[in-house]
Amino acid sequence: MKHSFISSVAALALLSAPLAAQEHSLEPVVDAANKINAAAKSSQLTVEKIADSTQERIQQYKQITRQIQGLEVYTQQLQKQLNAQATEKNELNTSIDEVSVVERQITPLMLRMIDSLAKFVELDVPFLPEERAERVAGLRDLMDRADVDVSEKFRRVMEAFQIEADYGRNIEAYNGEMTVDGQQQDVEFLRMGRTVLVYKTRDGNQMGVWNQQQGDWQPLDSSYASNVQEALRVARKQLAPDLLMLPVFTNTTGAGE
């Protein structure tokens, strides 16, 4: 029995010897596999980091590309605006050159217009003589001023012509002075367009009408007194307009109604 146990122990010893040797021979393989797995895991992490970085850079690239495209569109629009501004600049320079030419031409024209206006006032029915003469004198002074634009000078000249034109289409009453029977008296003037110019003394005892053909005042019959008074009230907007009988001088028949 003892011999048998020893034999069994010897047999197990013989069997255990190869297994230990085999395990010892596999340790390098296991270590190498572990190292490979560790390296593979590290490589996988590196690949994942590279992939994440690559994806982030792709997104940045797309964003920058969109920005570049937007800037290209914006640049094209700016270029169109620059081209339009360049065209406008050329047109303005041309206009400035033309304005200089026009200014050289329009100044003599305005001077001739003022001379014509002064002559017209001189030969016209003598209503508001001081006011109209001062207007013409003011235009002459205006033309000598360097601080006033040509456009403003032209506007003022045209305004004066418009005022003179309006005189022929309205009725007006105003106070003034004139010599009556050798004495300076306060009178009321009545103007109806450029057709009738009448004066009436304050007391109403004397009236006169301007005869444009003769260039002089003529006495007006007292029969016109009520009509003159009514016309004065109409001119002062104290009475509604109505048909009035006043003397009108013609080239052939003299005074008429």
Mean pLDDT (whole number) for 145-153: 92
Residues 6+ apart with CB under 8 A from 209: 196, 197, 198, 217, 218, 220, 246, 247, 249, 255
Average pLDDT, whole number, for the chain? Answer: 83
Beta bridge partners of 220: none
How far apart are the C-alpha atoms of 168 and 170, rounded to whole Å? 6
Tell me which DSSP letter residue 80 carries. H
pLDDT 10s digits, 22-73: 556 667 777 777 788 787 788 788 888 888 888 888 888 888 888 898 888 8
**Residue whose entry in the numeric block shows the structure tokens 């992939």:** 51
Is residue 13 predicted with pLDDT exceeding 70?
Answer: no
pLDDT at 244 (0 to 100)? 66
- Provide the b/e sequence for 13-25 (b: ≥16 CB within 10 Å): eeeeeeeeeeeee
Beta bridge partners of 178: 185
Cα–Cα nearest to 229, from 198, 196, 184, 257? 198
Quote the pTM value.
0.59
- 200 burial (CB, 10 Å; 0-12 / 13-18 / 19+) is buried
Q: How confident is the model at residue 196 (pLDDT cuts 50, 70, 90)?
A: very high
Is residue 99 predicted with pLDDT exceeding 50?
Answer: yes
Is there a contact between 157 and 113 (Cβ–Cβ < 8 Å)? Answer: yes
pLDDT at 111 (0 to 100)? 96
> CA torsion, points 123, 124, 128, 131, in degrees to nearest 10?
-60
Domain boundaries, the chain: 171-252
The SS3 of residue 168 is coil
